Structure 1
């Protein structure tokens, strides 16, 4: 009992970097910065990669009640670039020491628009040095895609290829949502889209959100049995790939039905200790932030301490632009 208590205390003493946190929800609404900072303190989250959401949900004229989530009814989603300016203003209103806790990612990009790269460049040049990453970019994304008008966005379409060139120029990591399959197919149906992006942009640091999974995929298929061997192959082949272990991967992949770490996944994490990061993927509501991040505790406790520290904290910071990493080191020395 004493050893279990000590283990639990050590887990909660570990600082986390949340590598995937949305400041707003699908209606571009948020609990706000005071609530977020309080939740980060409670969860021992030292820093967070914070981003908006590049789409907004319509409250349709025919709907008597405002939906609570993008899947709440059949009304459409639309691309929404102002999400970045709301985030920019929220961060700039903070005290300097509070601002340092956030790693802002620019996300308001229409993944089907070949003008997106030009819009992105202008936004980056308007606020030099502010944005430290790009994403979460929405490409193929089950019901989100289904509710969008126009063509299905793909990780390897021409518009995204132009965005990756800007990312490389500014040394910005790219967090991208690109489903590996559909809700019905038990094979990596859409893998080619992500692989082409990786292979044709070796200088870009890609973070694959949820390793290509989503809540909707799991609702229909539960576990994708091909996923772990696939990740092992991709990590061996592409040095520019990092896997975002956000909440959809906790179950049924990292933990079994009893809440115990799965040995084969632990082996993969130990084989590539610098290639995984953690994320909560909360969307504008922060009351469950700490609990979400600490669901990873059983996995981290089963890993060697240096591997756990890398995945929980160090790996994400190592993906940032060199200028941002230098600022981090100076801040730590102060």
Structure 2
């Protein structure tokens, strides 16, 4: 009788644990309101997708380039890599984001944290454009980015010089970001598709070292799906991130979709122990991003895909990564 009663107690305990399984609320640290043709499903679709996915807050930005439909192409491309036509820097993307936000109710608008992205990062005039946009919409912009520097084939397709995270134009922007207390979300690939070493690491590490008062969010931790197609995994990524997070307290990591696999999860979908330990070691320096572009149907899938990794972390750390860390990196409220 005692054994039967003990078994019932254990069963009830397991049932209670299942009932109390973690349910996360999220902040999306990396979302593009428009796609590479500057088109969007609109705010109604975005808000609906956020509500369904329990995304309370979201970074929102445009796309800094537009894909050209070339005269010689009979069919419009569906993505920037759809054909060999150029992409070009497109400043009006910030206007689209600002206009969409201005149509929202005050309560809806408070869920969004707009970042400026419509500038050419190799143009030393870019900082003047950012200053004008800050004056045109006072109090609206809460960050800069996603800045496209080293970005797979998009770099070769984009008209003009190759953008680098450590060029003089970006140096001016980092100074402004520090003055205005704005974080900078930057896409800077750590290597190329074929080099099995951190070929471009100096391009992101130099700004981190030279601008200690600027908060940097490194998109995808320097990785990309295109790199993964050619190299599967970068063996040097984990030790490199560990060193950089130790050396640079102004570095934050955006764990958007291209980091989930093959890094955070193994081939069987189980969390990798070394990555769990890294996040536990720096519990306030990682955040989640969907990186959706103009279409929002996959928003929940992208964010909930991290749940198995979050569940393997201590609960307080999991909730920080899911929601709180992105909000903490935003500008401090001004009097």
**TM-score class, shorter:** over 0.9
Where structure 2 has 5 or more consecutive residues not aligned to the other structure, the ranges are 1-10
1:278: how far off? Answer: 0.5
The within-5 A match list for 1:1-334 is 10-11=21-22, 13-323=23-333
Query: What SS class does the counterpart of residue 20 from structure 1 fall into?
Result: coil
**Shift >3 Å, 4+ stretches:** 1-11
| Equivalent residue pairs, number | 324
The 2-side partners of 1:94 and 1:130 are apart by 13
What TM-score do the two structures reach when normalised by structure 1? 0.94
The 1-side partners of 2:128 and 2:58 are apart by 27
Output one character per residue of 1:220-251: Cα deviation in whole Å (capped at 9) or x when no partner.
11111100000000000001000000000000
1:7: how far off? Answer: 5.1
1:8: how far off? Answer: 8.6
The 1-side partners of 2:83 and 2:241 are apart by 34
The 2-side partners of 1:284 and 1:222 are apart by 28
Greater C-alpha Rg: 2
Q: Paired residue for 1:330?
A: none
Q: Paired residue for 1:332?
A: none
Query: What SS class does the counterpart of residue 207 from structure 1 fall into?
Result: strand
The 2-side partners of 1:5 and 1:77 are apart by 54
Shift of the 286–9 alpha-carbon distance from structure 1 to 2, 3 Å rule, reads farther
Query: What SS class does the counterpart of residue 94 from structure 2 fall into?
Result: helix
Query: What SS class does the counterpart of residue 218 from structure 2 fall into?
Result: strand
1:151: how far off? Answer: 1.4
Query: What SS class does the counterpart of residue 28 from structure 2 fall into?
Result: strand
Query: What SS class does the counterpart of residue 154 from structure 1 fall into?
Result: coil
- RMSD after superposition: 1.6
Shift of the 192–64 alpha-carbon distance from structure 1 to 2, 3 Å rule, reads same
Query: What SS class does the counterpart of residue 103 from structure 1 fall into?
Result: strand
What TM-score do the two structures reach when normalised by structure 2? 0.94
